[in-house]
Amino acid sequence: METWNQNPSDAVRAHTPLLVNRRIDERVEGCVRYMAEKGDRAEMSRYLERLEREWDISRAISVSTAAMSALGLLLGRRDGGGWRVLSAVATSLLLQHGVFGFGPLSEVFRALGVRTRREIDLEKFAIKALRGDFERIPNDGGPLAKANAALVAAQS
């Protein structure tokens, strides 16, 4: 499939190893191709509901650092304060992600397959295009051509 997921301003993607980005993109391509071949609007709608609930990397980092910080404060209260360092580390990781758009936790979550909001939205728009929500997707051509057109339309 032609390269469709290009955005130089996406700091998380830019700092993620190419192999990890490719694995995430291939998962999306496979799903969109499957939906194009199957053509089941009800299944597409169910899948879109699942995508609406998917956590993006910013949410995953926010929740994990908040949990680490709370744990550090709780354990630090019981053990004389040594665990409070965990809260400081968690806060600094969250700050780094907020300021630079990426950090060590981004690498961990990306390796686990957690996607950016933009990546999730691209897949959503491609599925919506296949479902017929937009007029840009041609009806001629096979499922692969339709899947590719949906991915390209979602990007624009």
Domain range summary for the chain, segments of one domain joined by +: 11-54+117-156, 56-114
Q: Taking residues 60-74, what's their average pLDDT?
A: 95
pLDDT band at 152 (very low <50, low <70, confident <90, very high): confident
State yes or no: pLDDT of 4 exceeds 60.
no
Q: Taking residues 116-131, what's their average pLDDT?
A: 92
State yes or no: pLDDT of 155 exceeds 50.
yes
Q: Is the model's pTM score more than 0.85?
A: no
User: Which has more confidence, 79 or 88?
Assistant: 88
Buried (b) or exposed (e) across 42-73, using 16+ Cβ within 10 A? eebeebbeeeeeeebbbebbeebbeebbeebe
